Each structure stands twice: as C-alpha cells, then as structure tokens.
C-alpha cells in the first residue's frame, strides 16, 4: 500500500492515525470552520504582541486533519493561519527588516536542498507539490515568528500565553482519560476511542499522536521552569504550566515525552558546568565511541532497552537505525521513495513507519538534506551559546536563553525516537526562530558596544563577550 510514496509521507501514516483519506480531501467541520474564521479575525485585530495567541489556540484544539483542498493543493488550517499571519503583516505594514543570522540562511538552504533532491528522486509533480507544502510550512512559521517575537518581552508574553492555554488542554486530557473518548474526533484525524497499549490509555487530545502531544508540551517545559524566576507573581503561573505539562505527558503514556522531562532536568543540572560544555560534548562523544566497541551490540541498540511506561517500541527504533545503515548505499544520493521493503524478514509490512527524524531527512533527500538539517541544528546551538552570556546579569533572561538551548536539545533527542508531523512542527520552528531572534539581539548589542564610548557602556553590555 505504501509503495511509491515518498519517505516524508510515510511519517504521516504512523499507526494509521492519519490515514490517506485525510490527505488531498477537503475535511471541514462547521465548528472547525467557525473557529478558524474567528481566530483569523482575532489575529488581524489584536495588538502585535498578542497576534500569535489565536495561533496557539488553533494548534492546541483543532486536529490537523481539518483542511481545504483547492486543485489538489492541501491547505491545512495550520497552513491557512500561516498565510493569514503574513497577510496581517503585509496589510498592517509590520514587515520590518530582519538582522539576518546564520540560522536564517541554514533553514532556507535545508528547505531548498530537500526540495531539489526529492524532486530528482520522484520525478513527478505530486512530489514537488507535497514538498513545496512542507517547506512553506517550515519557512512560513519560522519567519512569521522571526517577525512577531522580536523582543525578549514578546517571548515572555508568549510563554505566559502557553501557560494559560495549557490549563484547558490538561483538562481535556483528563476528560479523555476518564471517559476513554476523544471529543476532538468530530474533526477527524484522531480516533474516537482512546488507544490502549499494555493496559495504558494513550490520550492525544487534538494532537496527531500521543507521542507528539507529549513531546509538544515537553519542549515547552524549559520555558515554564525559567518563568519561575521572572518575578514573585510569576511563580504561581510557572507551577501551573509545569503541573499542566506533567498531566498531559502522564496521560500520553509514552516513553519519548517522559525521557524529554529527564533531558530538561539534565539540561538545567548542567548549569554549573556552562563554561565547560565543549569538554562535556567531546567526552560524551568519545565515551559513546568507546561504549560502541565494548558492547556486544552497536551503541544504538541501547534504544531497545528504553521503556519508561511499559509497551514502548524501543526495539523497533533500534532496528530502524540498523536497517538505515545497512541500506545506506540505496538512499545516500537522492533518498528513496519507499522503505516498506526494509526489514521485511522481521516485519511483514517492513519499516514503513519512519520513527526517526534524522533517517526521515535522509529518506526524503539523501545525505545532502540530512547534512543540511544537522548543520542547521549546529548553527542554532552555536548562536544560543553566545546569547546566554549576554544575559548573565539578568537571571530570568539568562534562563530564557538557556532554556531555549535546552528545548532544542529536547527536540534533538526526540528526533531519535519520532518524526515530526502535525501540530508539533509549530513548536519546532517557533523555537528555532526564538533562538535566531535572541541572537539578533545579541548582534545588535555587540554593535552598540563597539560604537559606544567606554564610560557609557551599561553593565548589561559589559557582559557581552568579545
């Protein structure tokens, strides 16, 4: 059934939760359409600092199956909101010049390389149209956030909005857990009866999959922790955001979001070692290489042993990596349109489920797209590594910058066990854009420090490294 489809589309078939019927088929519920119209209206009339709040509401409460198809072009509600956001910027003349960073160029390069290589791989317009849609989502969301979250104050307000939205989301997850029913199924794209695995309910709300629902909120946890240090009054909201996030992750009953909590804690525990991160990275890499040769199995076999909630498919994730390495000669140049034949000696259906973002990038566009994806991540870390030094005199803003780096680390570890689709791409590109905006502030302050007389340089600017 999956033969002939692109590797990118394979990710959308995870456990059949987003079947072929949603793709290229207009699926609009009257409530969903009314909500879309209202949210677009709010996005257009709200002050710039609040323009993204309707976006958050749509992402958290409307499943990604809601879409309008025009001449075989899929316009998901998320995509329509991105278009509406750019229309707002254009109509209200809010498109202002950006201070470009390496990450801006890297994400554009990644998008173009994937588009070109995948087009060569497939050789038909259907693949081109699909890839154009995914790249539009990526660049549209990324640069929309670059435009709308320009100041640290904008980020603070965005985090507060996420905390408020987390309350009803957690409530709906508790309702789903109590009733075993998902009321968001009326919109399509999510099952009406909550999935059960090994006796555990796997709630997902309006999100495309229980794992992705948990990963979505786990990636926000570093910001909720940082919000505790904003002021005395913010501590209550910090606890609310953290508590709501833990409820959502517990209801998802998935190991990947649980491990993301551990990664967040580890990221903050590393604070005392912040000036020794380079040594930590090298020692970790050398330790993994040594372990690889000392173990009876390859280092990635450790994934087979990961199971925090019972019933995890860690062995499948190990096997997927193993098969990708074995089939490297087949996909390295321009990717491969079908992976269902991988591992058929073990799985009857083969490895159609791309539960690894890194492998998915290679399947889509060969080693070139994978390299561009990794380079983009490396640049994001490099820029954030300079930003937190700028805020050393302000504990809260320092932790916001540090938390952005931790959130990126959470995503990077998630990519080993899941590929992103649906609403979670919103968080991924949002946090990349936040990192780029913070780095733009860093560059601006560096320039100001360079032209300001020494006796006029503020204490904050003195913290900027040379």
d(CA 49, CA 37): 20
- Tokens representing 300? 């990635």
Helix (H) / strand (E) element for 375: namely helix 357-390
Residue 317 lies in a domain: no
Residue 144 lies in a domain: yes
The answer to whether the predicted template modeling score (pTM) of the entire model surpasses 0.75 is: yes
pLDDT along the chain (466 residues), means of 10: 36 38 82 97 94 95 93 91 96 92 97 94 84 95 95 94 97 97 94 89 94 96 96 94 97 93 95 91 91 88 74 80 94 92 77 90 96 97 92 90 96 95 95 96 84 48 41
Give which of 419, 423, 424 is closest to 7, Cα–Cα.
419
For residue 155, count other CB atoms closer than 10 A to its CB: 21
Residue 251 lies in a domain: yes
Measured distance between the N- and C-terminal CA atoms of the chain, rounded to whole angstroms:
57
Residue 421 lies in a domain: yes
pLDDT of residue 124: 81
- Tokens representing 217? 């909120």
Give which of 343, 340, 360, 350 is closest to 416, Cα–Cα.
360
Give which of 401, 439, 403, 381 is closest to 98, Cα–Cα.
439
Residue written as tokens 């692109």? 6
Residue 414 lies in a domain: yes
Residue 396 lies in a domain: yes
Residue 410 lies in a domain: yes
Residue 83 lies in a domain: yes
- Domain tally, the chain: 1
pLDDT of residue 455: 44
Range of the domain at 166: 7-282+353-462
Please name every residue paired with 67 in a beta bridge, in sequence order, or none if there are none.
Answer: 27, 76
pLDDT of residue 167: 98
For residue 143, count other CB atoms closer than 10 A to its CB: 22
Report DSSP letters for 279-338, one per residue.
HHHHHHHHHHHHHHHHSSS-GGGGGGG--SSSS--HHHHHHHHHHHHHTHHHHTTT--S-
pLDDT of residue 238: 97
Report DSSP letters for 245-268, one per residue.
HHHHHHHHT-HHHHHHHHHHHHHH
């Amino acid at each position: 059934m999956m033969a002939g489809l692109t590797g990118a589309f394979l990710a959308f078939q995870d456990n059949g939760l987003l079947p072929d019927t949603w793709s290229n088929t207009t699926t609009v519920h009257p409530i969903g359409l009314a909500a879309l119209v209202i949210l677009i209206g709010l996005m257009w009339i709200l002050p710039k600092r609040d323009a993204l709040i309707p976006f958050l509401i749509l992402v958290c409460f409307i499943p990604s199956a809601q879409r309008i198809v025009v001449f075989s072009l899929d316009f998901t509600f998320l995509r329509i909101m991105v278009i509406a956001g750019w229309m707002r910027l254009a109509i209200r003349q809010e498109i202002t010049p950006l201070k470009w960073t390496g990450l801006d160029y890297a994400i554009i390069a990644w998008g173009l390389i994937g588009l070109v290589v995948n087009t060569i791989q497939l050789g038909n317009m259907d693949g081109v149209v699909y890839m154009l849609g995914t790249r539009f989502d990526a660049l549209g969301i990324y640069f929309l956030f670059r435009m709308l979250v320009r100041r640290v104050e904008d980020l603070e307000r965005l985090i507060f909005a996420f905390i408020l939205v987390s309350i009803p989301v957690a409530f709906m997850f508790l309702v789903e857990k109590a009733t075993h029913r998902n009321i968001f199924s009326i919109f399509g794209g999510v099952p009406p009866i909550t999935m059960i695995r090994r006796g555990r309910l796997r709630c997902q709300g309006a999100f495309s999959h229980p794992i992705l629902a948990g990963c979505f909120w786990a990636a926000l946890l570093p910001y909720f922790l940082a919000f505790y240090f904003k002021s005395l009054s913010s501590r209550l909201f910090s606890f609310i955001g953290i508590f709501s996030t833990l409820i959502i992750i517990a209801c998802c009953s998935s190991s990947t979001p649980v491990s993301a909590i551990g990664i967040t804690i580890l990221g903050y525990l590393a604070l005392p070692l912040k000036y020794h991160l380079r040594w930590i990275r090298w020692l970790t890499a050398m330790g993994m290489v040594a372990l690889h040769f000392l173990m009876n199995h390859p280092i990635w076999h450790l994934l087979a042993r990961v199971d925090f909630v019972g019933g995890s498919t860690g062995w499948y994730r190990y096997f997927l990596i193993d098969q990708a390495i074995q089939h490297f000669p087949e996909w390295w140049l321009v990717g491969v349109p079908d992976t269902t034949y991988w591992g058929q000696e073990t799985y009857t259906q083969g490895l159609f489920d791309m539960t690894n973002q890194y492998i998915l990038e290679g399947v889509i566009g060969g080693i070139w797209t994978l390299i561009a994806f990794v380079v983009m991540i490396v640049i994001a870390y490099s820029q954030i590594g300079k930003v937190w030094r700028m805020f050393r005199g302000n504990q809260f803003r320092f932790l916001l910058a540090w938390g952005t780096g931790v959130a990126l680390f959470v995503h990077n570890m998630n990519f080993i066990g899941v590929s992103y689709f649906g609403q979670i791409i919103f968080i991924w590109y949002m946090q990349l854009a936040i990192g780029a905006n913070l780095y733009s502030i860093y560059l601006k302050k560096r320039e100001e420090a360079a032209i300001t007389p020494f006796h006029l340089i503020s204490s904050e600017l003195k913290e900027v490294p040379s």
